[in-house]
Chains A and B, each alone.
Chain A
Amino acid sequence: GAVVSQHPSRVICKSGTSVKIECRSLDFQATTMFWYRQFPKQSLMLMATSNEGSKATYEQGVEKDKFLINHASLTLSTLTVTSAHPEDSSFYICSAIGGEPTDTQYFGPGTRLTVL
């Protein structure tokens, strides 16, 4: 149990376009989902926390107009990178809480974004 999926696993886009990444909890209802960004050879940096039906809470320094997060249901959260630029290229990972046990975040497999 407690499986989280992400789609797509890898995406390449042109500078200026927008990219949507989906995060799904497959076998549990995710009360809270998190979005992280990981730069090469570095740790995960929390970007935002989202609860179903409410606005996401962004970490300091994260542009909420650039990284749009929607948590429309208890099993789906989306991250849209708007007007992507090469510096947005990164590994984006989501996680979710709600499976058992409830004190543990379960992570998706990540999405590799490359902006040309």
Chain B
Amino acid sequence: AQSVTQLGSHVSVSEGALVLLRCNYSSSVPPYLFWYVQYPNQGLQLLLKYTTGATLVKGINGFEAEFKKSETSFHLTKPSAHMSDAAEYFCAVTFGGSQGNLIFGKGTKLSVKP
């Protein structure tokens, strides 16, 4: 079955530290991979996505993610955390290039300590 797993429901880092949010998927067909950010009581904002081509994808707010097919991973990173990065982050996948049927991970709440 196709699925998305986000390791760690809650990640806490200090301001200026590296942010690493993990996402793994399982699929027998090529995935399209997305990271969304959700601030309290708001909808989801697209951070970045991978469809085809370059496996290292750069997104907004200094985030980037690398698609590693051999590891079935799409981890989200940011070199230096900012207080404004505190939010919920969702990894999502569609399979077979479909435009719908987004499958979401359970989310990771990122806290940033001053």
Contacts and interface: CB of A to CB of B under 8 A. Distances in A.
Given A103-B32, A104-B46, A44 B99 contact: no
Contact of B102 (A4, A105, A108, A110): A105
Contacts of A110: 41-43
A103 B99 contact: yes
A93 B97 CA distance: 23
Nearest to A91: B41
Interface bin, chain B? 20 to 34
A34 interface: yes
Contacts, number: 52
Interface stretch (B17-25, B53-61, B76-84, B103-111): B103-111
A88 B60 CA distance: 34
Given A43-B90, A44-B90, A109 B43 contact: yes
Interface in A65-116: 91, 93, 95, 97, 102-110, 112
Interface string B3-41: 000000000000000000000000000001010100001
A97 B43 contact: no
Contacts of A103: 32, 49, 51, 94, 97, 99
B100 interface: yes
A51 B43 CA distance: 21
B41 to A, nearest CB: 7
Nearest to A93: B43
Nearest to B91: A43
B8 to A, nearest CB: 14
Contacts of B99: 32, 97, 102-103, 105
Contacts of B41: 91, 110, 112
13 contacts: A4-B43, A6-B43, A42-B107, A43-B106, A43-B107, A44-B44, A49-B100, A97-B100, A102-B99, A103-B99, A105-B99, A110-B41, A110-B43
Interface of A: 4, 6, 32, 34, 42-44, 46, 49, 91, 93, 95, 97, 102-110, 112
Interface of B: 32, 34, 36, 41-46, 49, 51, 90, 94, 97, 99-102, 104-107
